[in-house]
Amino acid sequence: MNAQGLHSTSRALTEREVAGLLGLSVATLRAWRHRGQGPRFLRLGRAVRYLPADLETFVRASVVDGSEERSRNRGGNGAEVHP
């Protein structure tokens, strides 16, 4: 997903649209909301909507630096931990 896709609209996006943009299922978005995770959202009556700016913030906050990820997967002796 690129930032241009998020900024191409100024209207609130549906679950289905957000799932498509992020490459996720609607069920994943619903599970995240239930657990208090994922991007911020709006509840308009029973409808759930997402603002493009909130999606961009969520995506940027989800970026993982490869070197940080590698050091997180190492054990105390420097050996990699395999699940």
Three-class SS of residue 13? strand
Among all chains, which residue has been given the structure tokens 């998020």?
A: 6
pTM of the predicted structure, to 2 decimals: 0.69
| More confident of the two residues 43 and 75 | 43
**Cβ-contact 19, 8 below 8 angstroms:** no
Output the six-digit token pair for 53: 């700016």
pLDDT for 12 beyond 90: yes
Check the CA dihedral 38-44-49-55 and report its sign: negative
Nearest to 51 by CA among 21, 83, 81, 82: 21
Q: What is the pLDDT of residue 80?
A: 57
Spell out the domain ranges in the chain: 3-63
CA atoms of 16 and 36, how far apart (whole Å): 19
